[in-house]
Amino acid sequence: MNGSSPNSHSLVPWVDPEQLVCSLSSGQLLMVDPQRHNALIICKTFHAEFAGPGAAVGGPLDVESSSVVPIGDVALLHPRSYQERQNAYAKRLHWMRWLQQITDNPLSAQRARTLLFSLEEFFSAEVVSQLPDEVLARLVGVLPQTIAAARREVSYPTAKAASLRASFPR
């Protein structure tokens, strides 16, 4: 994807997460490749933000990032035009609103389950199982133990449903 034609993007070569934090903190605007199932979880001091496909990263949004967790085969691109930058900012806002909808639920266990189900729907259970509980917890404002409990529920939904059915009198 490293071409010089006006229709090609400049692909940012993959670097390790520590180098990526430096890139994002530098103020350079990039975007998550909209053509891949990839994303970044950008950790800030007290919370984390999700930047899915097409979302702007870096620039003024992520100057105070402390760490970055890549999801999937992450590719970052340089937006080519003013319109593409605007679209990338709009996508970042879209992902922020998605997380806000989950966070609006007053029940922390439900927030954790909804986050896990949503991420597994887009990525896979295998990919989501590799994400740290602490990072996922920071996305929706719950304790890491709440994510761990939700993972156990999500991992065994059929067994749990069967045990619930068995406990009801007939």
Assigned CATH topology for domain 105-170: Arc Repressor Mutant, subunit A (1.10.10)
Q: According to the model, what pLDDT value does residue 17 have? A: 73
Tell me if the pTM is above 0.75.
Answer: yes
Across all residues in the chain, what is the average pLDDT? 85
Domain chopping of the chain, boundaries: 1-96, 105-170
Q: According to the model, what pLDDT value does residue 25 have? A: 79
Q: What is the distance between the alpha carbons of residues 36 and 136, in angstroms, rounded to a whole number?
A: 21
Q: According to the model, what pLDDT value does residue 12 have? A: 61
Asked if pLDDT for residue 120 goes beyond 90, the answer is yes
pLDDT digits (tens, 9 = 90+) for 14-58: 557 777 888 887 888 999 999 999 999 999 999 999 999 999 999
Q: Write phi, then psi, for 41 (nearest 5 degrees).
A: -105, 120
Asked if pLDDT for residue 9 goes beyond 80, the answer is no
